[in-house]
Structure formats: C-alpha cells, structure tokens
Amino acid sequence: MSNKSFTEDQIYIINNIRFKLGRYEILEESLKELQPVITFLKQNPNLIIEIGVHRDSRGSDISSTCLSCKRAESIQNYLMTNGINELRLIPKGYGGSTPQTIVEIDSISRDTISIILVEEYINQYKITNPRRYEELHKINRRLELKIIRTDFVSNEKKNDVTLIRKIKGDFTTFTIDNFDNIYTTSNDVIVKYNSKFDTLFYSSLKSFIPSSIEASKSFRNLAFDKERGSVKFLDNTLTEIYSEFELIDLDIMQPVLVCESFNGNTIWVLDETGMQLVKLNQNLEVVTRIDNLSYLFENKETPIQMFEKNDQLYIHFPNNGIAMFDSFGTFLKYLPLKSNWIDVQNNFLLALNNSQISVLEFPFLDKTSVLDFNLSDVKSFMNQKRKFYIHTSNGLHIYSMN
C-alpha cells in the first residue's frame, strides 16, 4: 500500500493474519503483517477504514460472526495501541457470509471465469484434492481494509497520554487491583482481566447487582449492592468467600457507600438515613460507629464515592466537595471542589470535569496540569502505575502516561 490519492470503497486484502484457534487474540507472528498497515495509516491521516474480518464457511453462522467481530476489535485495539485514532477505525465481523471471488481460466475453452468460493464449490475438493480444499478455505479467511472516507480531520488535542487499549461493554462499574488486573461489572456479571487484557475469570452473582467493586486488598474483592443494602466478598477467582451479608442487620438503614479500610482488616459503611459512618471488622461486627454526620448531608446531596488512601478517608459530593477523615473516623476538613469524579495519588488530587482531569496538588489544590481525553460521557476513572482507566458508556479506555 503506497501513499497516493484514494477513493472510497477501495479494498486491500491481507491473508496472513492468524488468530488463536477458536479465539480472538492475534498470534504473535501475525503482528508483523499489521506493521505496513500502521505505516500506511500514519502516512494517510485523512483516511477512515473498515476493518473487515472474514472466516471460511465452516462452523455455525452465529458463532462465526461473533468471533469475527471480536477479531476485528482485536485488530482495532492493536492499531490504536500503535497510535492510530480510534475514530478512523470501524471494526466489522462478516463471519463466513461473504466468500471471496477468484478468477480462473477454463481448461477447455480457455475463457476467463469468475468463481465465488461458496461452500458447495469448495467441498468438491474435500476428498479428491485436500490441499486445494484447504487453500480455497484459506482464501476466504482474510482481512479486508476498506476505505470508508477520505476526509477525516482530527480534532484531538495533544497531551501527555496515549490510548493503549479499549475494552468494549456497557459496564456498571470497574476497579483495578495491585497487580493491574481489571474487574468490570455489568448487571450481575463480574469479569476479571489480566494486565494483558486476557479474560481470566467470569462470575454471575444472580440477584446481587454490584453498584461498586473494590480490589485494593490482594486476598479479597469487596462488592456492594446499594439497592439490596448488602455486601459480598469474593476471592481472586471471583468465588464467594462467604455468603451475602445484609447491612440492615447492623442497624444500618440506608447504606449508600462501602469501601475497604487499611487500619486492620476492616471496611467502612456510610449510612445516609442514620447519618453515620460505621467501621466493620472481618467478621462484619461493628468496631466504630460515628454518629451526628448531619453536616455532611446539609445540602441534601448523596455522595457518589468513598475510598481510603494515604491513611485518609475521602467522601465525595460531586456538586459540593470532599469530606476528609483520618483512618479512625475523625473529621479533618472539607474541600469545596465541584467535580464529576476524583482519585488521589500521593500528594495529588485528580478531579474529573467532563472529559478533562485536573491534577491538583495538596494542601492548597494548586492546579499543576490538565489532561484532556476527548471522550464523551465519561462516568469515572482510576489512575494507577502511570495508567489512566477511563470508564465511559461504551467501555473502558486505558491510557498510558508518556
């Protein structure tokens, strides 16, 4: 593929992209076949392309198409990792629905004839010429790069982050553990991915719908169902450590937030109706109960986050600010800061507004920088080990810090 003028609907075919058997991960030896594609797209930044993955006709139509879609998304993710704008890449899986057409010369008339490689045609060689049979199936297994538009103009602002991966899905919430494993929830389903984005474990909690999940402790994961007012603890394989526990049994009438505490093997629970902060031990027994928190709720706003970092507990009210406590539950101060979501890393507070994250330095919240991710509908984020994990309505975007 050379650098020249292009027209829409031009197609370039690559036949040497191979995947793990029955899976969507690209084999290592096939990645070199995508290097000319990366070079081509960087040399022609005005092009928007469709990534069309085709399989041979063997296998069911439904499973074939679903797998082809995932394989197209894997190629999209790899191109994005290498600096190609997501908006220029349209993944599409065709399964075996679009067989290739080849041109041959009739052995008798010597006329040129076009042959569509449908299954009925290929099957005639299954017994008589197995090599030819496999060759024709291989022709149908292909990657087609089709030019959709030639007028793309990027409106990206250059900043200090690079998109390295996107996990598509309508996720309720997510979290990251200390080993960079990723946990996503969608309704009652939790999925765990490793740092290479391979799926490790999958679990359905049935009627338990996590509104939050936290994996900050290496030996357990804390899941909280706000609607049911109950918690579950899961091990590293997403298996329940012990059964669901309803917080109303401890006179916690309306728990709105739950998080881990690092002052012993304990958790924090914020009760909006009782206006109290409760700490429970590993046996779910009350060890601390802090009452009279009416000053936190005087603006009638329900907080959306609670987490403990650097021996301090943060409770986030998006339209009013952040209440800070020490690890024993003693109130420290209130930071008047309006933001959609927050995180804390060392001496910095990270505050989200729309698609921008402001980096503010404690104690005076001086703004040191702003990162713009140019994403719509950002719900939440986490920052860990020089990576930003951005949760939007259509998936999880992972960025690296340059």
The whole-model pTM stands at 0.70
Q: How high is the pLDDT of residue 95?
A: 76
Distance CA(37)–CA(54), nearest Å, equals 17
Across residues 369-377, what is the average pLDDT? 87
Selection from 166, 211, 202 nearest residue 183 by Cα: 202
pLDDT of residue 228: 95
pLDDT value at residue 230: 96
CA dihedral 310, 212, 168, 402 (to 10 degrees): -10
Rounded Cα distance, 253 and 25, in Å? 47
The kind and range of the H/E element at 41 are helix 31-43
Query: What per-residue confidence (pLDDT) applies to 302?
Result: 93
pLDDT confidence bin for 137, thresholds 50/70/90: low
* Range 16-43 average pLDDT: 86
Q: Residue 300: its pLDDT value, please?
A: 78
Q: What CA–CA distance (Å, rounded) separates 64 from 84?
A: 27
Q: How far is CA 170 from the centre of its chain?
A: 9
* Every domain range in the chain assigned CATH 2.120.10.30: 161-401
| pLDDT value, residue 2 | 45
Whether 59 shows a pLDDT value over 70: the answer reads no
3: confidence class by pLDDT, cuts 50, 70, 90: very low
Looking at residue 20, its pLDDT comes to 76
Burial 252-285 (b: 16+ CB within 10 A, else e): beebbbbbbbebeebbbbbbbebbbbbbbeeebe
List pLDDT tens digits, range 114-129. 777 777 777 787 888 8
* Of the candidate ranges 24-38, 154-168, 341-355, the one whose mean pLDDT is the lowest: 154-168
Q: Which of 101-110, 223-232, 234-243, 326-335 shows the lowest per-residue confidence on average (mean pLDDT)?
A: 101-110
Q: How high is the mean pLDDT of the chain?
A: 88
* Tokens describing residue 398: 């992972």
Alpha-carbon distance of 16 to 193, in angstroms, equals: 28
> Using one digit for the tens of pLDDT, what is the confidence trace for 301-351?
999 999 999 899 999 999 999 999 999 999 999 999 999 999 999 899 999
pLDDT at 259 over 90: yes
The pLDDT value given to residue 60: 53
Q: Residues near 255 by Cβ (< 8 Å), separated by ≥ 6?
A: 224, 226, 229, 247, 269, 270, 271, 272
**Dist. CA 63–CA 223, nearest whole Å:** 32
Pick one of 3.30.1390.20, 3.30.1330.60, 3.40.50.9100, 3.30.70.270 as the CATH number of 11-98+126-149: 3.30.1330.60
Identify the CATH class of 161-401.
mainly beta
Q: Tell me how far apart the alpha carbons of residues 64 and 362 are, in angstroms, rounded to a whole number.
A: 53
In whole angstroms, give the CA distance from residue 344 to residue 125: 64
Top mean pLDDT of 4-8, 364-368, 387-391, 398-402 is at 387-391
pLDDT at 154 over 80: no
Q: Say if CB 33 and CB 16 are below 8 A apart.
A: yes
The dihedral sign for the CA sequence 125, 126, 131, 133: positive
Highest mean pLDDT among 93-97, 112-116, 126-130, 258-262: 258-262
At how many degrees (to 10) do helices 31-43 and 61-81 cross? 60
H-assigned helices in 221-334: none
Cα gap 382→175, rounded to integer Å: 8
pLDDT above 80: residue 140 = no
Is the pLDDT reported for residue 157 higher than 70? no
When pLDDT is cut at 50, 70 and 90, the band that residue 145 belongs to is very high
Is the pLDDT assigned to residue 11 strictly greater than 70? yes
- How far is residue 258 CA from its own chain's centroid? 23
Contact 237, 255 (CB under 8 A): no
Instruction: Give start-end residues of each CATH 3.30.1330.60 domain in the chain.
Output: 11-98+126-149
Distance CA(347)–CA(7), nearest Å, equals 52
How many CA atoms within 13 Å lie on the side-chain side of 134? 2
- Report percent pLDDT > 90 for the chain: 54
Tell me the mean pLDDT in the region 195-212.
Answer: 94
- Please state which of the ranges 11-15, 220-224, 265-269 shows the lowest mean pLDDT: 11-15
Predicted local distance difference test score (pLDDT) of residue 159: 58
Query: For residue 126, what is the enclosing H or E element?
Result: helix 125-128
158 has pLDDT over 60: no
The pLDDT of residue 278: 97
What whole-number distance in Å separates Cα of residue 6 and Cα of residue 387? 37
CA distances from 122 to 115, 184, 393 (A): 10, 43, 44
Residue 64: predicted pLDDT: 52
In this predicted structure, the answer to whether residue 4 has a pLDDT above a threshold of 80 is: no
Residues whose CB is less than 8 angstroms from the CB of residue 233 and which lie 6 or more positions away in sequence, other chains included: 220, 221, 222, 223, 240, 241, 242
Residue 15, C-beta contacts closer than 8 angstroms, at least 6 positions apart: 138, 139, 141, 142, 143
Q: Does the structure show a pLDDT above 90 at 51?
A: yes
Give 286-293's long-range contacts (Cβ < 8 A, gap of 24+). Answer: 286/250, 288/328, 288/329, 290/329
The whole-number average pLDDT for the span 56-83 is 76
Q: Say if residues 388 and 380 touch (Cβ distance below 8 Å).
A: no
